[in-house]
Amino acid sequence: MKALIALEDGRTFACRSFTGHGEAFGEIVFNTSMTGYQEIITDPSYSGQMVTMTYPLIGNYGVNYEDIESCRIQVSAFLIKEYQEYPSNFRSTGTLRDYLKQEGVLGIEGFDTRALTRHIRDKGAMRAYISTSDINPFSLTEKAKKIPSMVGLDLAKRVTTGKPYFWSEGKIQPCPESVDDLNKSVWRKKKEILSVVAFDFGIKYNILRCLEAAGCEILVVPASTSVAAVRSIEPDGIFLSNGPGDPEPVTYAIDTIRALLDYRPVFGICLGHQLLGLALGGKTYKLKFGHRGANQPVKNLLTGKVEITSQNHGFVVDTGSLSPEHIETTHINLNDNTLEGFRHRKLPLFAVQYHPEASPGPHDSRYLFNEFVELMKNA
């Protein structure tokens, strides 16, 4: 089915839909991972974005319900070079096409994904509109220009959980209390293992799996959970999750984090890294086209080792905005020298911009979850 991609700068790409009629819009970005498309499309950090895969053949191993990273598909549209209609994998329970159609997400193929990627790389990530019904380039370009910019957009409130829940035995377990009714008696294994309150700004399931594997009892709470609620729960540690959008408008979370800086050990990932940086007085800015893929080289300045990491972010903390008297840079991106990790020199706080839980990607950085556990034990 014929379709058209129109970018806000007027560049268009003739393509076709492999999921039927539909329209989609959002910021258009690219991901360089060769595998892991199911984890990518269900990652809440992609909310409000249309993802283009640089690897040309997608769909060849189908989909299954063990590899999802959230309760639904999060991307606005999924763009690929060539859809593989007949999956071949013993874990497959269905096709990518059916999965996208089931959730009403547009799947696009049959265009030069390399040309689009090069254009985004040169001009930057931008707004775009895709349609199978309106294939007038001028009309679609005007629609693209009217899409809200990612800068200044709080998307954490769109993807966060509405009520608290436990993560146990690899799945969501209901919590009978509301956020306002929570107290320290909520913990089921308080005397046995460490307890962690995880702020959900768009948390991935594999982060929760890794925290559980490291020996934590995890209570996931909404992004807007108050300082008083956290203190009444009395956790051993606080985790700040990944998530989509611009960190600066998430002022309610920044204020809460700032008030909890000297309360318990804190570990942040991705958006959590940015929010912690802002709470510590830093600033953030938008990257030209972001870091999205499973092959990003990061240098650990504490060990001198280079880690190959999985990443998905369009914003970054400005290294120069953090006080070197209080904050130590621990990780940098070797492609552009942007900040990938920091820790506080006195307080038990640290964060990384990349995804140590991977999904998809390498496991070079899994040690960070154990470091968080040690931080809580020592605190």
Structure token pair of residue 291: 């870091």
| Residue 141 reports pLDDT greater than 90 | yes
Task: Convert the pLDDT of each residue in 39-95 to its tens digit.
Answer: 999 999 999 999 999 999 999 999 999 999 999 999 999 999 999 999 999 999 999
| 109 annotated active-site | no
Helices (H), 146-243: 156-159, 205-213, 227-233
Locus of tokens 């958006």: 271
The one catalytic residue among 270, 273, 331, 344: 270
Q: What pLDDT does residue 190 have? A: 86
Token readout for 299 is 């240098």
Active site residue 357: yes
pTM: 0.97
Active site residue 355: yes
The upper half-sphere exposure of residue 319, i.e. CA atoms within 13 Å in the direction of its Cβ, equals 15
- Residue 311 pLDDT level (bands cut at 50, 70, 90): very high
Quickly tell me which residue has 């948390």 as its tokens: 203
CB 116 within 8 A of CB 52: yes
> pLDDT tens, 196-248?
999 999 999 999 999 999 999 999 999 999 999 999 999 999 999 999 999 99
Residue with tokens 């400005």: 318
Contacts of 361 by beta carbon, 8 Å cutoff, 6+ apart: 33, 36, 294, 295, 308, 309, 310, 355
**Half-sphere exposure of residue 39: CA atoms within 13 angstroms, side-chain side:** 24
**Domains of the chain, first to last:** 2-145 (3.50.30.20), 156-378 (3.40.50.880)
Q: Which residues in 304-376 belong to E strands, given as ranges?
A: 306-317, 327-333, 339-344, 349-352
Name, in order, each residue with C-beta under 8 angstroms of 148's C-beta and a sequence gap of 6 or more. none
Determine contact, residues 39/69, Cβ cutoff 8 Å.
yes
Mean pLDDT of the chain: 97
Q: Among candidates 257, 273, 266, 350, which has minimal Cα distance to 312?
A: 273
**For residue 296, which of 242, 251, 335 has the smallest C-alpha distance?**
335
